[in-house]
Amino acid sequence: ETTGRNKTVSSICCYCGTGCGVLIQSDGQRLTSVEGDPTHPANLGRLCSKGRTLADTTGKPGARLLYPEQRLAKDAPRQRVAWDDAIETAADRIAAAVAQHGPNSVAFYLSGQLLTEDYYVFNKLTRAVVGTNNVDTNSRLCMSSAVAGYKATLGADAPPACYEDIDQADVVLIAGSNMAYAHPVLFRRLEAAKAANPAMKVIVIDPRRTDTASLADLFLPILPGTDVALFHAMLNVLVWDDLLDRDYIEQHTEGFAKLKDRLREFTPRAAADICGISEEDIVTAARWFGRAGAALSFYTMGLNQSAAGTDKNAALIHLHLATGQIGKPGAGPFSLTGQPNAMGGREVGGLSNLLSAHRDLANPEHRAEVAAIWGVDSIPAEPGLPAIELFEAAAKGQIKVLWVVCTNPAQSLPDQALVRRALEKVDFVIVQEAFAGSETLPYADLVLPASTWPEKDGTVTNSERRISRVRAALPAPGEARHDWIIARDVAQALEARLRPLRPTLFPYDDGSQVFAEHVVTTAGRDLDITGLSYAVLDEIGPQQWPFPAGATSGKARLYQDGRFATPSGRARFVDIGYRPVAENVSAQYPLRLTTGRLRDHWHTMSRTALVPGLTRHVEEPVLSLNQRDLDRFHLKNGDLARIKSRRGAIVLPVEADDNLRPGMAFLPMHWGGAYMAGNGVNALTLGKVDPVSRQPELKHAAITLEPA
């Protein structure tokens, strides 16, 4: 819509997976305002502090990368280069690595903040042209345990519920999620639903008494990593109190009898000891859940960022299967996506073990299907490296070219010392990035400046499977280009070297063509969107998948007919035991460190740090811990402490916080090198991964303190 010089564009907030609709006003050169879009079903006009201040994140002098830059030696300064030269250099270096060391010497590390179109082109470039599956993303740090948990139990990576269920639930269980900070608009909706229905019970499970816990009727401050024991004990109570939906178990699931045997170990008494909470509270939580008319669970990083993340997800989903609390209004297990498009990335196969449209790389038929759609002979069968293993391989010198896109691994991956060694070891590091302050930039041999919100155009999928159009409101600054266009151009330059004389696999002039090809890959799959196109989305607005050809609307809830995406059509109970955290506390490292978000910051703060109003909420990182631990380490509020783990140390002020039990400490995840003498919180965390999801245990590390 245009009035005079002013233009209003409807788009999506670029921060969290809630996926709020925004109306962006601009005068063509700069943004004049960003408001919530009252017509978008995700937020109905609401925005949180981050979304409301989006206009202030644009037009900041010095904030953006404007031109491609290259350095000719690791110790030389980078110089500005022309785009054509940058593209040719990237293609030359990749082709040379493939020729000398094989395709697996090249790796791509992408981001859940890319648009679906960006993701699609990078995946095709990696697998169809370079010939490797070494394409992983920071979604590995975010949602891969949720993916694995859904697949283990329900058979497909598909969150079954929708945001409307918040208004219809009468028990809401929130596990390992500080929704009040990380998904504020959904939390506001939950607060409103509870105000409208005072009988609603909210159960919050978190080692820390967060702002989310302030809404709880029952708060379970479990010890980190003990979720499986808690969920098993709740299921045990459901069995003993006869609160199961036996018909549902009988007709729609398999594996319950075996799991039931295992539950004998997990009495409320035994779980109370493991979890550090009372037996009565476990019984109460189970009874509320079991007696609910409609029970809804929200969960995110507290379950996912764990060396037992897949099991934690599965154990929570078991509660829903055992009580039939799935596929009906107000009910279901509901993973909250951290990043704005972690869902869209998964849909196009944006993890090293996946392929387009929720296909599995390990499945030969799936590889053949994707090869046929792309018009290539085959997709390489050898598994690609997931994020942590990718950087471990790089540290060993096995990766010769690493292309990092729209993410900041030098700060955001665990065990920073290892990650930085890896970035130094790689022969040629390409960093494709919008912001000039990324901690990963010093490692770049080639910098490719990218456009970002509000310059980009494409699609994203939010936590409730809703695909929305992202629309550009401003031109990209300097010479910055869209991510998928950079990928397309390097892909075509590589084709000239690696598949000469064949028609290009990347004949795209416009994002709508990329989306249309993605749509083709989904035909007949669980996320079939053959009824969607940019034109349809523009006409009828954001839609939930599946949306097959002929549909007039998407599907609000999945599995309403009790049929699941497993070979038998039955959901699965998985026989899983409880495993403690990967790095337990010891006499030398006696404190349990957990990490998390603050309300007003996002990831490594490339964008939110540009807004003074957001920085005021919490101005600097502080280690929070119980007063008894301050006393034990002879520290007072505001003292500087050296915080040490087995992998590194940082110096920060400490503060007493009675929201943490003795023995627990909390650090926000956002701050990096500039604030902490080169190190951020991930100098302390460890890269131990879940055996299935390969997601690292960012939520727990053993630490100690000494006065600094």
Residues in contact with ligand SF4 by CB under 6 A are 13, 15-16, 18-20, 43, 47-48, 50-51, 183-185
Taking the complex as a whole, how short is the minimal distance between the CB of residue 12 and ligand SF4, in angstroms? Answer: 7
Are the CB atoms for 229 and 276 separated by under 8 Å?
no
Provide the 10 A C-beta neighbour count for residue 75.
6
Are the CB atoms for 271 and 315 separated by under 8 Å?
no
Taking the complex as a whole, how short is the minimal distance between the CB of residue 346 and ligand SF4, in angstroms? Answer: 18
Question: At which residue do the structure tokens 């957990």 appear?
Answer: 594
Taking the complex as a whole, how short is the minimal distance between the CB of residue 340 and ligand SF4, in angstroms? Answer: 7
Across the chain, which distance is largest between two alpha carbons, in Å?
72
Cβ distance to ligand SF4 smaller for residue 16 or 444:
16
How far is residue 325's CA from residue 293's CA, in Å, rounded to a whole number? 8
Cβ distance to ligand SF4 smaller for residue 48 or 308:
48
How far is residue 208's CA from residue 116's CA, in Å, rounded to a whole number? 34
Cβ distance to ligand SF4 smaller for residue 45 or 562:
45
How far is residue 681's CA from residue 632's CA, in Å, rounded to a whole number? 22
Taking the complex as a whole, how short is the minimal distance between the CB of residue 659 and ligand SF4, in angstroms? Answer: 22
How far is residue 310's CA from residue 462's CA, in Å, rounded to a whole number? 21
Taking the complex as a whole, how short is the minimal distance between the CB of residue 51 and ligand SF4, in angstroms? Answer: 2
Taking the complex as a whole, how short is the minimal distance between the CB of residue 695 and ligand SF4, in angstroms? Answer: 22
Taking the complex as a whole, how short is the minimal distance between the CB of residue 567 and ligand SF4, in angstroms? Answer: 36
Residue 526 CB burial class (10 angstroms; 0-12, 13-18, ≥19): middle
Taking the complex as a whole, how short is the minimal distance between the CB of residue 14 and ligand SF4, in angstroms? Answer: 7
Q: Does the N-terminal peptide bond of residue 546 adopt cis geometry, omega within 30 degrees of 0?
A: yes
Instruction: Compute CA distances 213 → 137, 202, 409, 567, whole Å.
Output: 31, 9, 31, 39
Taking the complex as a whole, how short is the minimal distance between the CB of residue 591 and ligand SF4, in angstroms? Answer: 31
How far is residue 150's CA from residue 313's CA, in Å, rounded to a whole number? 7
How far is residue 700's CA from residue 485's CA, in Å, rounded to a whole number? 39
Cβ distance to ligand SF4 smaller for residue 20 or 556:
20
Question: At which residue do the structure tokens 């890319």 appear?
Answer: 114
Are the CB atoms for 207 and 594 separated by under 8 Å?
yes
Instruction: Compute CA distances 702 → 224, 330, 650, 662, 684, whole Å.
Output: 11, 39, 14, 14, 9
Taking the complex as a whole, how short is the minimal distance between the CB of residue 146 and ligand SF4, in angstroms? Answer: 17
How far is residue 212's CA from residue 181's CA, in Å, rounded to a whole number? 8
Cβ distance to ligand SF4 smaller for residue 133 or 339:
339
**C-beta nearest to ligand SF4: residue:** 51
Cβ distance to ligand SF4 smaller for residue 178 or 679:
178
Cβ distance to ligand SF4 smaller for residue 440 or 468:
468
For the chain, helix, strand, coil in percent to 5 are 35, 20, 45
Cβ distance to ligand SF4 smaller for residue 13 or 609:
13
Cβ distance to ligand SF4 smaller for residue 48 or 331:
48
Cβ distance to ligand SF4 smaller for residue 42 or 446:
42
